[in-house]
Amino acid sequence: MFETKPFHIKSFVFGRIFRCIWVSSDPLPLASERFKVFTLEAVEIDLWASSFAVGFIIFIYPTSLSLVSRKIFQVSMEKQSSFRASTMEKQKSFRGFMEKQKSFRIVMEKQLSFMGSERKKSKESPGKRGDLPIHLAARAGNLSKVKEIIQHYSNYELKDLLAKQNLEGETPLYVASENGHALVVSEILKCLDLQTASIMARNGYDPFHIAAKQGHLEVLRELLHSFPNLAMTTDLSNSTALHTAATQGHIDVVNLLLESDSNLAKIARNNGKTVLHSAARMGHLEVVKALLNKDPSTGFRTDKKGQTALHMAVKGQNEEILMELVKPDPAVLNLEDNKGNTALHIATKKGRTQNVRCLLTMEGININAVNKAGETALDVAEKFGSPELVSILRNAGAVNSTDQGKPPNASKQLKQTVSDIKHDVQSQLQQTRQTGMRVQKIAKKLKKLHISGLNNAINSATVVAVLIATVAFAAIFTVPGQYVEKKAQGFSLGEANIANNAAFLIFFVFDSLALFISLAVVVVQTSVVVIEQKAKKQLVFVINKLMWMACLFISVAFISLTYVVVGSHSRWLAIYATVIGSLIMLSTIGSMCYCVILHRMEETKLRAESRSFSMSHASDQEILNSEYKRMYAL
């Protein structure tokens, strides 16, 4: 043990020394290691080992001590700076983290408060219209639920609850009345006063009016039993519930309201129309009968236009109502409104043939009554263009105002003249407007045809140009060469000898012209895109003239080539081809030139004329022939 122990101590000491010198570590661990070397390990070693270690440290360690201490100090400073930097960064990141936590906490608090408010709103108004639970229960007719809700509130709170309105301004009583839940209405009425029961919704109806409009008889009975004064309430146009029910034709509701108070039939709206006016205009016969039975004098009541219920009835289609209105007193037949029109004037003006027939059969009617415009019913029928009514009135003995013995008033004549002129002007304007619409439709269709024709002309010109270019290009290679068979006149055997021929030179020149003109047309057609109609027409004009030249040149080239082909012995064949080709081409081109000139002259003439005058006096066929030609040359 004694022999191995010094070796162990030496190894340990040298290892610790070199580790302190070469390893960059924290100074505190190094110090602790050295402290362990000189304390803990020293307990186990013997005196020899201690002496050896102390001697080694005294003689060897001082040399390296300065290096070790310098290294330790340098490392410690670097560690401190890096530790300080890392600490600052951690503090910054921690501060940012805390700020993020704070902002996140604020956002979460807002979300929670928003969710709480929304949950609170949803509890207060769960319906789409902002309905409270009491609204929903009343709308569904759930009597038990309504009773349950009412029992949870005191009298003071219950009054405020039943006065609550949804987004449409509807109270629980209004909702129950609109849907015809009489039992719910009866339960709610136990907790209401008249002021709350007559609260109007945004549409201007209160619970009593809406029940009358819907025809809920039992609901109205409950409302009248609790608050009879509800029958006298009016909406924004001063219409009572009786007006509303009569307009809808609810005869049971009308009878109920008339029994409660017959004076309701005398209340007029803001425009002066009574309940009888509304029922007569809408054609509700049973309602008219009920109203006349209660008070026949209402048939003579007039609105702000001076019209009676009979004036309103003749605007409809129910003849039986006319008979009912005349029964109490036939004198109502000849009552005039503010313009002097009787019921016969109104029926004639509206074109109600059956009503006119019905009025003419009634005893005491004045067929030839004259209004303030100086017109009889026959004048009105002639003015508004109703031949059937004119015939009916004439057969009944009606005459014009000018045919009556009493001369018309000068002011009436002036009004009549102005009215006739106005009517004639309106008729003329209407006719002109209709003519203009027909012309526009015709012009639109013909414009499409015109554009289609131009497109066809352009496509055809392209095909012909390609064909002429192909023929002209191939013709130069198929000309007979008239090769030399014997050496003579300086020509070699097999050499063509027509290059100096005048006919060949003409062929060569005109064939080249036809080729390059056709190619030019093809280039233009494949390069230019035209949309506007006038520009497209100009393009077709230019292309057509170039094609005329190409056709003429290819014809001349063909004729000149015939003189080369037939030779001098059969020249008459070439002359014959020349005559035929010249006649055909010259006559064709001459005819086309004549058509072009004629078309240009017609266009100039049409532009010089007044378009408005020609359209107002010309028929559709004349406009068709003048504005658009079925065929013309460009």
Q: Is the pLDDT of residue 310 over 90?
A: yes
Helices (H), 125-169: 133-140, 143-151, 155-162
Q: What is the rounded end-to-end Cα distance, in angstroms, of the chain?
A: 133
pLDDT in tens, 142-184: 999 999 998 888 888 888 899 999 999 999 999 999 999 999 9
Helix-, strand-, coil-residue percentages of the chain, each rounded to 5: 70, 0, 25
Of 272-281, 311-320, 416-425, which range is least confident? 416-425
Give the single-character DSSP code of 372.
T
Range 59-70 average pLDDT: 47
Domain boundaries, the chain: 4-77, 445-482+494-627
pLDDT in tens, 231-274: 888 888 889 999 999 999 999 999 999 999 888 888 899 999 99
Of 275-284, 390-399, 483-492, 548-557, which range is least confident? 483-492
Sign of CA dihedral 239, 243, 247, 253: positive
Distance CA 573, CA 579 (A): 10
**Confidence category of residue 31, pLDDT binned at 50, 70, 90:** very low
The whole model's pTM is what?
0.47
Please answer whether residues 230 and 206 qualify as being in contact, where contact means their C-beta atoms are separated by less than 8 angstroms: yes
**Confidence category of residue 99, pLDDT binned at 50, 70, 90:** low
What pLDDT was estimated at residue 15? Answer: 46
Range 381-406 average pLDDT: 83
Range 461-476 average pLDDT: 80
**Confidence category of residue 464, pLDDT binned at 50, 70, 90:** confident
What pLDDT was estimated at residue 136? Answer: 92
What pLDDT was estimated at residue 80? Answer: 54
Mean pLDDT comparison of 392-406, 448-462, 506-520, highest-scoring range:
506-520
Give the single-character DSSP code of 483.
B
Distance CA 184, CA 163 (A): 15
What pLDDT was estimated at residue 496? Answer: 52
| Residues in the chain, overall count | 634
Look up residue 405 and give its two tokens: 């013995």
Q: Is the pLDDT of residue 633 over 80?
A: no
Residue 402, Cβ neighbours under 10 Å: how many?
A: 12
Q: Which residues contact 368 (CB under 8 A, 6 or more apart)?
A: 376, 377, 378, 397, 398, 399, 404
What pLDDT was estimated at residue 629? Answer: 54
Q: How many helices (H) and strands (E) does the chain have?
A: 29, 0
What pLDDT was estimated at residue 108? Answer: 54
Distance CA 349, CA 419 (A): 14
**Confidence category of residue 275, pLDDT binned at 50, 70, 90:** very high
Q: Which residues of 371-386 are buried (b: 16+ CB within 10 A; e: fewer)?
A: bebbbbbbbbbbbeeb
What pLDDT was estimated at residue 574? Answer: 81
Q: Which residues contact 466 (CB under 8 A, 6 or more apart)?
A: 518, 522
Helices (H), 206-284: 207-214, 217-226, 241-248, 251-260, 275-282
What pLDDT was estimated at residue 130? Answer: 85
pLDDT in tens, 343-356: 999 999 998 999 99
Q: How far is CA 38 from the centre of its chain?
A: 97
**Confidence category of residue 292, pLDDT binned at 50, 70, 90:** very high
Distance CA 165, CA 127 (A): 12
**Confidence category of residue 6, pLDDT binned at 50, 70, 90:** very low
What pLDDT was estimated at residue 70? Answer: 56
